[in-house]
Amino acid sequence: MSKAKTSESNGRIIYEGASLLDGAPIVVIAIGLGSGSSNRKTGDMIQTYIIRQDMSPIRAVHKGKDFSICGDCIHRGIVVTNSDGETKNVNRTCYVNLGQGVTSVYNTYLRNGYPYWDDTEDPTPAEGRMVRLGTYGDPAAVPVAVWRAFLMGALGHTGYTHQWRDPRMAQLRGYCMASVDTPQEAAIAQSKGWRTFRVGLPSHPARMDNESLCPASAEAGRKLTCIQCRACDGIASSRRGSIYIPAHGGFAVMANIKKRDAAQAA
């Protein structure tokens, strides 16, 4: 199957194939290759979206089919079935707004708006750029060889995975931070050789001794963007410390976070 390049194209399809998490069909699309990203937290980074090929991101979430691209991430919420047999996701605490960037990228993909990346391109699309692995979705769903090839010549990268417990994903330690939600999880992941990125719930201590507050966070005064900081690159650099950020998101997300936190603390 070929995708025609159109005037909408500011990206490339860098992978189409089976998810490493459950074998379902997924697609990875890198955008911001031309005009760049206006994300005020990350700065001008190439963004990568990991999406189900066969259904919209919103439908995947409400059907529980987002496991293919998010794995066992606790922030996915849970799927419930009503009396009419319809399924719906509730208690979702992921900060990603599915109705915005993710859906726009998926709709452009359906319109054949992205060409395939030719891995013989010289220079590569990421040449001299920072790349965000998994703007939506977990990089663990994608073969490491895809990330390795796409990052050739890149200035650097950031990445986060909730699949750090899976021994098959140990090779991602050079690309991703272990995404953790409690100090206990952070300690376990660090004992396995990961650097961690911890989202702090209200009932948890502000910071562990080996954690630094994310400088792109509101709490840190947004003094650096991700492209300036470059700390969240796993063990790719000489950094040894880990990163902490207070839980964040829209009103509904924060309400669900507080509810879950209270239930765990009870």
Structural domain including 196 reads: 11-57+97-246
Count Cα neighbours of 89 within 13 Å in the Cβ-side half-sphere.
22
Domain membership of residue 214 (yes or no) is yes
Domain membership of residue 90 (yes or no) is no
Could you tell me which residue, 22 or 206, shows the higher pLDDT?
22
Sheet holding 211-213, edge to edge: 11-18, 25-31, 46-52, 130-136, 156-161, 177-180, 196-200, 242-246, 211-213
Domain membership of residue 17 (yes or no) is yes
Q: For residue range 129-175, what is the model confidence (pLDDT) as tens digits?
A: 999 999 999 999 999 999 999 999 999 999 999 999 999 999 999 99
For 82-111, what is the mean pLDDT?
92
In the predicted structure, residue 3 carries a pLDDT above the cut 50: no
- Give the list of residues 6+ apart from residue 35 with CB closer than 8 angstroms, or none: 10
In the predicted structure, residue 263 carries a pLDDT above the cut 90: no
Q: What pLDDT does residue 257 have? A: 74
Domain membership of residue 71 (yes or no) is no
Cα–Cα distance between 181 and 199 in angstroms, integer?
5
Domain membership of residue 256 (yes or no) is no
Q: What pLDDT does residue 188 have? A: 97
Domain membership of residue 21 (yes or no) is yes
The number of domains in the chain is 1
First to last CA, the chain: 53
Could you tell me which residue, 225 or 254, shows the higher pLDDT?
225
Q: What pLDDT does residue 39 have? A: 66
Q: What is the pTM of this model?
A: 0.89
Domain membership of residue 146 (yes or no) is yes
Cα–Cα distance between 180 and 75 in angstroms, integer?
11
Cα–Cα distance between 204 and 261 in angstroms, integer?
9
Q: Any bridge partners for residue 47, and if so which?
A: 31, 132
